[in-house]
Amino acid sequence: MRKVVHIVVLAAVSLICASTVRISSPSARDNGRFAGADPEIKAWFDKLASGRGPCCSDADGFALSDPDWESKDGHYRVRIDGQWIDVPDDAVITVPNRVGRTMVWPIRYPGRMIFIRCFMPGAMI
């Protein structure tokens, strides 16, 4: 049963990501705030994926400040809207972080339920 729920959630997330790709540029999330972005970095963000599937893009995720994420015993957790959420191991992006900042791609459901689609640890310097 748990596997069926996981598959249904992944299918729903995939549909959401696919639908945002089909949106015409005037109504897309990128309302010019990434106009000066390095095209190579933008393309890299667009290809990022975790074990849970594609992260969609940098416009769908957001950077976390150091007090809003932590690592303990090889696992991560993040604070979103004042709530600490364990990051599932398969949501962690394993490619090198080319931008240095810690980022998370959450999906919010009614009732304060938050699903972590992707998590990219910062440079930790």
85-101 burial, b if ≥16 CB within 10 A, otherwise e?
bebbeebbbeeeeeeee
| Three-point CA angle 98, 30, 67, nearest 5° | 50
Instruction: Express each pLDDT in 69-123 by its tens digit.
Output: 999 898 999 999 999 999 999 999 999 999 999 999 999 888 878 999 999 998 7
Residue 74's CB: how many other CB atoms inside 10 A? 7
Asked whether residue 7 is domain-assigned, the answer is: no
Q: Are 77 and 88 in contact (CB under 8 A)?
A: no
Residue 95 in any domain: the answer is yes
Domain that holds residue 84: 40-125
Contact indicator for 103, 63 with CB cutoff of 8 Å: yes
DSSP E strand boundaries for 8-124: 49-50, 53-54, 62-63, 69-72, 75-80, 83-86, 103-109, 113-120
Asked if the structure places residue 2 within a domain, the reply is no
Q: Is position 11 within any domain?
A: no
pTM: 0.69
Q: Is 16 among the domain residues?
A: no
More confident residue, 79 or 34: 79
The count of domains in the chain is 1
Q: Three-class SS of residue 94? A: coil
Residue 18 lies in a domain: no
Domain contains 33: no
Find out whether 120 and 102 touch, Cβ atoms under 8 Å.
yes
What confidence tier does 34 reach under pLDDT thresholds 50, 70, 90? low
Instruction: Establish if 115 belongs to a structural domain.
Output: yes
